Chain A
Amino acid sequence: MEIVRSQRSRTNTPNDSVSTLPLYRYAPQLEVRLEDFEVFAMDRLRVLKGISDALARGKRPEEMENLVRDLWKANMRHPEASEDVNKDIISHFVLRLVYCRTEDLRKWFLSMETALYRYRFLLGSSEAKRALMEEFDLPCKAISRTEFENAKEKLEQVARSFDQPLPTADAIFYKVPFEEVPELVAGRRVYIHKGHAYVAMHQVVSLVVTQFRSNLSKALILTNRKWTSTIREQEKDRLTPIVEALSMSYLGPDYSQTKEFGEISIKDLDQLARSSFPLCMRHLFDKLREDHHLKHGGRMQLGLFLKGVGLRMEDALAFWKAEFSHKVGAERFDKEYAYSIRHNYGKEGKRTDYTPYSCQKIISSTPGVGDHHGCPYRHFSEENLRAALGRMGVGSRAMEDVVDKVRNRHYQLACTLTFEAVHSSSCDAGINHPNQYFSDSHKILQPKNNNAA
């Protein structure tokens, strides 16, 4: 792939196949404009993040299929329709560069691209599916009409046992040696006869997807090697900054505008911390009250959060000063700490109005000794986490679910479950941002507060 500054891109894609779903085997022989490099990648990233959010919310497969179709349509169309495939391929390869660089990034990218592939496969036509199956060189054969008729009753029994719709007359089934689909066999999710499993299309996709995943996983390792050894240095003035910025981008509302829910005053903070702060912020807040101090990471995380919550700068200064004075004295506060608070509000330095941190950013931070920032679901020991959740009012049943999510490293899901347990209400959107937690909580509690008064 050649990146050029201005020329129009010329299409010469050896990957063009009948199906519009590429295999992403090789980086395309294309010239790409630098602007497109970034834009295409961001568009694809929106799709991947959309998928990530939806999966975190536990969307059902049917919903996911629709979501992927909509996301793809909204983001991945090119003004020139013939360029759609190129945008697809280019954006994929750019993101490979972006997401090959650490284990966590690779894991995330692998999961999302695999999910994307799965649903795009399912959305494709039967012809496209068949063609793709052949490209992947899998040991399965579509069954004939007669075979289908003979096995129909059994296939229906299997479908019913999982509350799936019954196979229609034109449903495609594949015969695969049972050894190839151990998961389906173990779960009794397929009809097996004489050593062959009769796999439905939506299950066969798992064979395709497994191979896709395995190929991409290997490719990412190779890309990482190339990146570290040559590309990063070669491109340090051109692509590298773009690549590094892309992986940090959060694409939802940034909570820098607080007009939605009015302003919060200092005296409300304690009560709000108890009722509506997510665990990460509650922990920081409690520690601040306890120690009358927070280190830099904590000040940034909590300070920007409070800004997003609606704390005015004057009130913020008063709040932090009141706490820090116990420890360092009012004078030292004015000298050493006030500046950075004003900085956060965009009143100093280059006057950037900093945005509160998203969950992704918080989870990836690394608190050290004496720090209290970061994501407690990630960094707390199980014992401490349980205690903290108990103090928040999480019941024992919900606690087990939360701990289970944590064990599987689904920190945002854990936070979502906590939210649901504490508020006795479901949070379909899933938690992606501490300020989202706060505003959702506020929405639920606000009417109650009004009524109570």
Chain B
Amino acid sequence: MTKEESKNGSDDMLIDGPKQGNVIPDGFNPNYLKVYYGRLFPHADIFKWMSYGNDGRHPACDKSYFGRREFSFTLDNDIYLRFQSFNSESELENSIKEKCPSKIDIGPVYSVDPAKRHAYAQGGDNVFAPVERELIFDIDITDYDDVRYCCSGADVCLECWPLMTVAIKVIDTALRDDFGFDHILWVYSGRRGVHCWVCDGKARRLTNEQRGAIADYFRVYKGNENSNKKVSFPGPLHPFLVRSYTEVLREFFEEKLLLSQNLFSTEERYEKILSMIPDESVTSELRGKWQENRRSSNSKEDINFFRWEQLKNTLQSGKQKVQGLRRCVEEIVFAFTYPRLDMEVSKHRNHLLKAPFCVHPKTGRVCIPIDPKDCEELDPTTVPTLSELLRELNTGDSRMDVDNEWEKTSLGKSIRFFRSSFLQPLLKSCKEEMESGYKAKIQQTKNSLSW
């Protein structure tokens, strides 16, 4: 005990008398981070992931691969260190432990080691440019502020968080079924959103134009403060939108969101929905009904359900032959529930994104992976925080013979999930790709080419 104490000088307060008075106040500070990076952060897993199989002994391995990846560290005093690169797992780990960044971002794999970028011109033959980068998505709940009434800005609660769940379901299904991607990692961003990392080889090699195309494929909401109607379907829906609507969005809107956000309960709120209907006769008819019906005789049924049904009936009654009303119901549902992506994040290969397992400075919460098949289970209010983890470390059974200390804490579950659901299948696939690519290359050099 004494030896340990003297070794971890500044950590005294945490290790001293583990079972008594385990007071670790909530918070986020360099001391906590130091312990986190020292004992909990999964350096080895991040390294293995970022190597994509190139850390092995296979002759096809590219030894330079990991060293060409950009990392960037945000230090305590808002100092931002870009173009950090490392040649081995220990280099990465030591640098993180030494610098204790409050945030770690991951960038692309470049054509050359980012540390040597100044030797290369921007154009011409010797170029410093991204060559591989995961396809990434960033969904932030503040982009939904115009349709959630429970919170705004950085706040998030259990009433509005399901919007993120819905976004994950829609996008994840499309990435797998439509685009054929398999190795997808969803991560809680630590406060108010989610990130997505698509790591298939095909995805990493996409050009900016192709990424833009995928982002546009996902784009439905086109609005700013100036337009009332931000979702517009001039014609019948594309199969992707149909699936999203019938499998996820409609049910979510009608059974959850209507109620949790009380979308029709006040004049201000129902006016917002009425403004999405481009037909005066319909809106005035509905307005008329709702203005007088303070409390209708159907007081059993929730007012939101009731008014939504009225709206649907009026729109679909067929009395209205006006163009542009045919898909009004879908437009409203999509306006409230369809995922709103940050286009710029996805379109450019050199965009940096926060690494999983970082701790969010403002909330202290860890950016843990989310299982897309089980995403309703994620409760942003109970995601492990830094101080909670440190408490768990302290109260953990010191006799437990574990390879990793995180197994003693709630982080264990997340890391195990990361490994079994994401990392292992990914590495297996990388190995297979590498081997088949190598075999093909050998075959090619055997066949003599005439030109």
Q: Give residues in A with beta carbon < 8 Å to B.
A: 154, 157-158, 160-163, 178-179, 182-183, 185-188, 191-196
Contacts and interface: CB of A to CB of B under 8 A. Distances in A.
Nearest to B215: A186
Residue with the highest number of chain A CB atoms closer than 10 Å, among B180, B216, B238: B238
Given A157-B237, A157-B239, A157-B242, A185 B214 contact: yes
Residue with the highest number of chain A CB atoms closer than 10 Å, among B178, B206, B242: B178
A143 to B, nearest CB: 16
Given A160-B235, A161-B237, A195-B202, A182 B209 contact: yes
Interface string B198-228: 0000100010011011101100000000000
Given A194-B180, A195-B202, A182 B235 contact: no
B240 to A, nearest CB: 7
B236 interface: yes
A183 B238 contact: no
B177 interface: yes
A193 B178 contact: yes
Interface of B: 177-181, 202, 206, 209-210, 212-214, 216-217, 235-242
Contacts of A182: 209-210, 212-213
11 contacts: A157-B238, A160-B236, A162-B235, A182-B209, A185-B214, A185-B216, A186-B216, A187-B216, A192-B217, A192-B240, A193-B180
A188 B180 contact: no
Contacts, number: 57
Nearest to B216: A186
A178 B239 contact: no
A157 B217 contact: no
A181 to B, nearest CB: 8
A36 B90 CA distance: 76
A163 B234 CA distance: 10
Contact of A158 (B178, B180, B217, B239): B239
Given A191-B238, A193-B178, A195-B180, 12 more contacts: A179-B206, A182-B209, A182-B210, A185-B216, A186-B212, A186-B213, A186-B217, A188-B241, A191-B239, A193-B180, A194-B179, A194-B180
Given A186-B213, A186-B217, A196 B180 contact: yes
Contacts of A192: 178-179, 217, 240
Contacts of B178: 192-194
A91 B242 CA distance: 50
Contacts of B241: 188
Contacts of B177: 193-194
Contacts of B180: 193-196
A183 B177 CA distance: 20
Nearest to A195: B180
Given A157-B242, A178-B179, A196-B180, A185 B217 contact: yes
Nearest to B209: A182
A163 B213 contact: no
Contacts of A163: 235
Nearest to A187: B216
